[in-house]
Copies of this chain bind each other. A is one copy, B any other.
Amino acid sequence: MSGGFGPGLNALDRLTVILSRIPGVGKKSASRMAYFFLDTDPGYSHSLAEQLLALHRSIRRCSRCGSYTETDPCPICADTGRDPSILCVVERPQDVRIIEESREFRGLFQVLGGLIAPLDGIGPDNLALGQLLGRVRSGGIREVILALNPTVEGDTTALYLRKLLGELNVAVTRLASGLPVGGDLEYADRLTLSRSFRGRIKF
């Protein structure tokens, strides 16, 4: 019973420890969350628990694009109104959602499941490259858009994919990198500014 707590708050402590494993959630935030669950109607914790239990039961990977879905193929792959000749390559399933929310793209997706990061021990073998190559080789795709983050890992992976896809009859493009809309030259970092110069377009 040292410090006055001892066995008294075990359920709360256990919940706090589990919550603090969520990325971006520190010990303090986890504790605040746990107290919120306690202060709130038990029905809230129950529905959260139910949804957590339902999550992996309901959601699987789409066998075509690798995105998360409740149906296989996913609604995007199954949508005959979309353009199957353009394939957008993304790192994670959540990137599919972000791009969908922009309503800018009407083709299909391929989720890589990661980026090449030698320091983290992630090589090409860890990515869904076989699936990507298979889809491109089976024909009907005229453009592959690499929608990877403009980071070291994203750049490395993009270069690798350009080489890999270069042997096939397909155009490989990459999302433009440069100043964010509404941004200020003053606050742009040197690399972003440099990219926006190299990628400048006729006006």
Count chain B CB atoms within 10 A of each CB in A19, A29, A94 and give the residue with the most: A94
* Count of interface residues, chain A, beta-carbon cutoff 8 Å: 63
Which residues of B sit under 8 angstroms from A6, Cβ to Cβ? 75
Contact among B9, B24, B34, B49 with A69 in the assembled complex (CB-CB below 8 Å): B9
Please state if B9 and A59 are interface contacts (CB–CB under 8 Å): yes
Told that A5-B75, A8-B70, A18-B47 touch, could you supply 14 new A-B pairs with CB distance under 8 A? A3-B100, A8-B71, A9-B69, A11-B70, A18-B44, A24-B32, A31-B94, A32-B94, A37-B52, A37-B55, A38-B55, A49-B49, A49-B50, A49-B53
Task: List A residues at the B interface (Cβ < 8 Å).
Answer: 1, 3-12, 14-15, 18-19, 21-25, 29, 31-39, 42, 44-59, 68-71, 74-76, 79, 82, 92-94, 97, 100-101, 103
